[in-house]
Amino acid sequence: MVNDFSYIDENLRIIRERVGEAFGKYRKAGDSLRIMAVTKTVIPEAVNYAVSLGLDLLGENRVQEYLSKKDFYEKSAEVQFIGSLQTNKVKYIIDTVTMIQSVDSIRLAETISRLAVKNNKTIDILCEVNIGDEDSKGGISPCDTGDFIEQISQLDGILIRGLMTIPPPSDSDIFLGRMQELFNEVSEKKKSVVRMDTLSMGMTHDYADAIKYGSNIVRIGTGLFGARNYDIKK
């Protein structure tokens, strides 16, 4: 049976319309903004369909799932890692992802650095910030973010490009605003050691707000591919 992915056309049309609206309202021409297709639980055929519609950036959460799917992905799409990452799994993804957005410990940064050097490459990273200081979430506390970046900035093989966050679901507007402030503050202070040009925030429920607060990458899963079926893949 051939799958019908026309729902993705319609979903993407709506996303592009809302992104365009928010961008026009809050941002200036030339600002960088990318739409990432978040692929967890989504079959590669659907992912490739989204790529055929012009989405060129994929976000992966789980190492095992990514490894089972990556050979089926359209090669033209860039893949970035956005999920929590154990140090012993870095070796499986280091050669095929262009950015790791979820760096939240010195140990993880050191591991990525070591493997990048071994692979003769420099990999872009974002520092994941726990902007709501929630116990349930990974990420660096906002008040420690500057120091964290300072500490990992000297490592070879990695280039710190900015910050990523998943704000608390309620009051996300407030936290997106705080993220923008933190991003500006850290970028200014650490100018000499890093290239802070990427703020990754905004998901299906808050991407328009995230654009308002300066996001450069909105990460959209369900809004694009529909509700996730956790039974298919873990």
Write out the residues near ligand PLP by the rule CB under 6 A: 38, 40, 61, 82-83, 166, 203-204, 219-223
What are residue 152's phi and psi, to 5 degrees?
Answer: -95, -5
Q: How far is CA 127 from CA 53, 163, 165, in A?
A: 30, 5, 8
Q: Which is nearer to ligand PLP, 157 or 221 (CB)?
A: 221
Work out how close the CB of 158 gets to ligand PLP at its nearest, in angstroms, rounded to a whole number.
19
The three-class DSSP label of residue 58 is strand
Smaller CB separation from ligand PLP, 82 or 140: 82
Nearer to ligand PLP, 190 or 228 (CB): 228
Q: Select 48 or 84, whichever has its Cβ closest to ligand PLP.
A: 84
CA 141 and chain centroid, separation: 18
Q: How far is the CB of 112 from ligand PLP (least distance, A)?
A: 17
Closest separation in Å from C-beta 128 to ligand PLP: 9
Handedness of CA 212, 213, 218, 219 (dihedral sign): negative
Taking the complex as a whole, the smallest distance from the CB of residue 39 to ligand PLP amounts, in Å, to 9
Residue 150 or 168 with smaller CB distance to ligand PLP: 168
Residue nearest to ligand PLP as judged by C-beta position: 221
- Residue 222 CB, nearest approach to ligand PLP (Å): 4
Nearer to ligand PLP, 125 or 220 (CB): 220
Residue 163 and residue 178: Cα distance in Å, rounded?
Answer: 12
**Closer residue to ligand PLP in complex, CB, 157/202:** 202
Q: In which residue are the tokens 């709506």 written?
A: 14
Burial of residue 161 (number of CB atoms within 10 Å: 0-12, 13-18, 19+)? buried
Long-range pairs of 228-232 with CB within 8 A, sequence gap ≥ 24: 228/40, 228/41, 228/42, 229/41, 230/41, 232/41, 232/43
173 CB contacts (<8 Å, ≥6 apart)? 206, 209
Output the smallest distance, CB 86 to ligand PLP, in A: 16
Minimum CB–partner distance for residue 193 and ligand PLP (Å) = 26
Six token digits for residue 173:
């507007």
